[in-house]
Structure 1
Amino acid sequence: MPIHLECLSHTPLRGYFDPAPDVVAEIDRVQAAARQRVRAFDPELIVVFAPDHFNGFFYDVMPPFCIGAAARAIGDFDSPAGPLPVPGELAEALAASVLAADIDVSLSYRMQVDHGFAEALDVLTCGLDRYPVVPVFINSVAPPMASLRRARLLGDATGRFLSRTGKRVLVVGSGGISHEPPVPELAGASAEVAERLIAGRNPSAEARTTRQARTVAAARSFTAGDSPLRPLNPEWDRAFLTQLAAGDLTVFDSMSNDAITRDGGKSAHEIRTWVAAFATLAACGLYRASLDYYRAIPEWIAGFATMHATPLSAAATAT
């Protein structure tokens, strides 16, 4: 089965509070190269692993993993909005196969996805609907969260299913590395904030604007060095990216959630999306990975990276 992987960081802050123009330009070049790789691969199916930021998933029911059999992007922070072209029967079959592999996963016929999904699709395909896509949500901000080991096993089960489809599949992991944006927590929250975290779907335009302004203000404070948010950790980021490229994903099984928070920040748990994506690829055989870009970008409160990978068999054929 032809398979290709693209993993990339996302940010809702682009266009709201950007780094220097030369940094934006170098990211543009890296993302254009990723788009060209995707265009050349011409996938028949895209599987996207991404988190949510209390825009589509809430504590009324917070699954560790959820596969969308139908999904719509909400368009937060001016990200693309609208329905995703999900092949429902294939998504259902994927969920059944993952469950048969003893990985507990939910299934949604009305999934709402935010910029974590939409930005990746837009960067890689210039929209939401160019290719059939199955969205796979991985809870990365709302404790308790599944372990990195479970995220790896989710990817492994997904890869074994995809290998039987015969389709040309693009696997995408969308998430930050070290970062701690101002995402609220249920523990210790006021009654108003708690209600928003439990049942906050479809907020008013005013409420969304207020939330976005709060995030931009936090980024300005973080960049100025006047912020209680955890600093970025480039050393930790690079060690993580190096290990992905090395190919032994089981090393992440022993990385605890507490250690991720301590070293990378409260939202560094989004590395689960990268681990799941690479495990999907690894289920189809050995791979060759390339770190295309890394920079710690305080304006976006993110260790920002891009990687791609292909099976060793495909690389050998290409040479």
Structure 2
Amino acid sequence: EDLGQFIIDQGVDVAISREMVIDHGGAQPVELMFGSLTAKPVIPIFVNGVAHPFAAMERIRLLAEAVGTWAANLDKKVLMIASGGLSHDPPLPRWAEATDAQKEFLLHGHPDQADRDAREARVTAAGKANAAETGIIDINPEWDQKFMADCASADPTRFDHYTAAQMAEDAGNSSHEVRTWVAGFSALTAAHGGYQVEYEFYRPIPEFVAGFGLMIAR
């Protein structure tokens, strides 16, 4: 609540949720690093990287800069985690073309292990097939590495020129997940006045039709 009010006071409108359910993108990094979701106090911040309408990158940067300024005033160690895929365009239903059953699942579905296994099978099958045959946009390592270079620059204004339409065309409909990266690095810049990337890894993973990247900065 305090963070939400601080962000609003900086001129960025946000809302808070008392019962937001976070998905694998938010839960898995915390579980892998600390063993459980409750091992450390966590404030999940949702940045839409899934479906239209998408906020302009500048707005995401301004939101995150407010978060970073707030965190800098805490007498605590703060770890900022941003989780999302790079270029990828998995064979998933889009809202505009989805059936009623698919829309119901997108809104209210809670996938069990069988659902997750089926989804993974669809993705790996698409990865083994030719991208042109499946109608998906292939991995774009050049785009991925350019984006990671912008992350490493410690200049979040570089993200402002990214547009939703160009991202989808160049890197696939799910490349919008990198908006979390934009938020993370923008917050880190505001908190420290800059940062240095200490570790960087990139690998395209054809079987999952995705570019995988990892960066650690402080």
Q: 1:211 to 1:228 in 2, by over 3 A?
A: farther
Q: CA offsets per residue over residues 142-170 of structure 1, 9 Å max, x none?
A: 11111211111111010011111121100
CA RMSD of aligned residues (A): 1.7
Residue in 2 that maps onto 1:141: 50
Q: 1:101 to 1:183 in 2, by over 3 A?
A: farther
Identify which of 264, 289, 292 aligns with 2:197.
Answer: 289
Identify which of 153, 173, 178 aligns with 1:246.
Answer: 153
Equivalent-residue separation in structure 2 for 1:211 and 1:163 (angstroms): 39
Contact 1:241 1:291 in 2 (8 A): no
Contact 1:245 1:290 in 2 (8 A): no
Q: CA offsets per residue over residues 90-142 of structure 1, 9 Å max, x none?
A: xx111111122222222111111111011111232232222111111111111
TM-score, normalised with respect to structure 1: 0.64
**1:159-308 paired onto structure 2 within 5 Å:** 159-197=68-106, 199-202=107-110, 205=112, 209-210=114-115, 212-225=117-130, 227-284=134-191, 285-308=193-216
Gaps of 5+ in 2: none
Equivalent-residue separation in structure 2 for 1:104 and 1:182 (angstroms): 33
Moved over 6 A (4+): none
Shift of 1:195: 3.0
- Which secondary structure does the structure 1 equivalent of 2:8 belong to? helix
- Which secondary structure does the structure 2 equivalent of 1:259 belong to? helix
- Which secondary structure does the structure 1 equivalent of 2:215 belong to? strand
Q: CA offsets per residue over residues 163-182 of structure 1, 9 Å max, x none?
A: 11121100011011101112
Aligned length: 215
Is 2:217 the counterpart of 1:309? yes
More strand by share: 1
Contact 1:182 1:215 in 2 (8 A): no
Contact 1:233 1:264 in 2 (8 A): yes
Equivalent-residue separation in structure 2 for 1:191 and 1:137 (angstroms): 26
Equivalent-residue separation in structure 1 for 2:71 and 2:119 (angstroms): 40
One-letter amino acid matched to 2:118: A
- Which secondary structure does the structure 2 equivalent of 1:171 belong to? coil
